[in-house]
Amino acid sequence: MTASVSVVVPVFNERENLPELLRRTLAAGRALGRPWELLLVDDGSRDGSSDMLTEYANANPGEVKALLLYRNAGQHNAILCGFAHAQGDILVTLDADLQNPPEEIGRLVAKIEEGFDVVGSVRQDRQDAAFRKIFSGMVNLMVRRSTGVILHDYGCMLRAYRRKVVEAMLTCRERSTFIPVLANLFARRVTEIPVGHAERAAGTSKYSFLKLINLQFDLLTSMTSGPLRLLSWVGLGISAASVLFGALLLVLRFAYGAEWAGQGVFTLFAVLFFFVGAQFVALGLMGEYVGRIHGDVRERPRYLLDRVVGDTLGERAAHATTRTTA
C-alpha cells in the first residue's frame, strides 16, 4: 500500500502569500499520485488569513483542512497542532511565505521511503539577511557539536518525518520546543537533501529580533543543559587559578619580602578569587538541579518502543492453556 502524505503549513499573517501557496502546494500534492492532505494551521493571524484558510478548506473537501488557533502560539507549536490532526504516514512541513518551494515535497517523500525517519533540507543559496545567515551558521555548528547529528540547516523547516517519530514528538509535554531537534531524539536514520530557497514572496519576516533570540534559546534548552554545567566548570577554573596565584604570592613574598607583596593586598585578591570561583561552583550546582527539574517538567517519554518479539512467563502460560483447550 502506498504511504499517504500530510503537508503541514503554519500561517501567521500571510494574506498576500496564501493564493500562490495554495496553488503551488495543491499542484505538488496532486503530483504525488497518492492519498494526501494539506493542513493549514492559522497561528492567530489578524490580517484575515484565517478566513482565507476556511474558504480554501471548504473549496477543496477531502484535500485541504484548516486548523485555526485562537491566538499566536509560535511557529513550532502551530506545526505540532497540525501534526496532531494529520493522518498521513509521512508528514511534511513547509513555510507559508514560499521561501521553500512546495515542488520539493516529492523528493522529501521519496527519501523517507528509502528508509529514513527524518529528512531535513539544506537551503542552497539562502535568500535571507546576512546577519541571519551568519547567526544560523554559528547555531548550526553548536547543535552539531552537542547532538552529534550531522545536519547543516536546522532553521530550514522544509522537512519530512515518518509518522512514528511525529507521534513520539506529540507525547512531549514541553512548552518551548524546537521541532528539528526534538525529532533527532527519536529518529534512527536522519538525512538531508539540498533544496532551493527563494526570497519571501510578500510581507516581512514574522520573527522580530527578540522573537528570534527567544527561538534560539528554545533550540538550546531543548537540546542540552550544558550552559548550566558550564557555570561549575568556570567556577572550578577560577578557584583553582586562585590557589595557584596564592602559592605564587607566597613564594614571591619570601623571595622579595613583605614590601613587594603590597602589605598583603595581593593575597587578599587571591582569597577573593577563591570565593568568587566557589560562588560559581555553587551556582552551577544549583543549575544541575534546575536542569533536572526542567527535564522532569517536560515529561518527555524516555524511549520509543519499536516492536516486541517473543513472549514470556504469564503470556506463555496463557498461550499454552489456549492451545491445549483448542
Phi, psi of 201 (to 5 degrees): -65, -45
Least distance to ligand UDP from the beta carbon of 43, Å? 4
The 3-class secondary structure across 236-263, one letter per residue, is HHHHHHHHHHHHHHHHHHHHHCCCCCHH
Residue 14 lies near Mg ion (rule: CB under 5 A): no
User: What CA dihedral angle connects 192, 198, 203 and 208, to 10 degrees?
Assistant: 50
If binding is defined by CB under 5 A, does position 99 make contact with Mg ion?
Answer: yes
Residues 257, 259: Cα–Cα separation, whole Å:
6
Name the residue type at position 220: L
Q: Which of 233, 102, 84 is nearest to 93 (CA)?
A: 102
Q: Give the one entry of ligand UDP, Mg ion, none that residue 75 binds, where binding means its C-beta sits below a cut-off of 5 to 8 angstroms depending on kind.
A: ligand UDP
# chain residues binding Mg ion, by CB under 5 A: 3
Given the rule CB under 6 A, which residues bind ligand UDP?
Answer: 10-12, 14, 43, 72, 74-75, 78, 95-97, 99, 205-207
**Considering the complex, what minimum distance in angstroms separates the CB of residue 146 from Mg ion?**
26
For residues 155 and 287, which CB has a smaller minimum distance to ligand UDP in the complex? 155
Q: Which stretch binds Mg ion (CB under 5 A): 63-71, 88-96, 148-156, 216-224?
A: 88-96
Rounded CA-CA distance 235/207 in Å is 36
Q: Which is nearer to Mg ion, 97 or 117 (CB)?
A: 97
| Identity of the residue, 219 or 249, whose beta carbon is nearer to ligand UDP in the bound complex | 219
CB 174 within 8 A of CB 196: no
- At its nearest, how many Å lie between ligand UDP and the CB of residue 46? 12
Residue 97 identity (one-letter amino acid): D
Closest CB 47 distance from Mg ion, rounded Å: 16
Q: Which is nearer to ligand UDP, 8 or 281 (CB)?
A: 8
Residue carrying the nine cell digits 511565505: 97
> Contact positions toward Mg ion, by CB under 5 A?
95, 97, 99
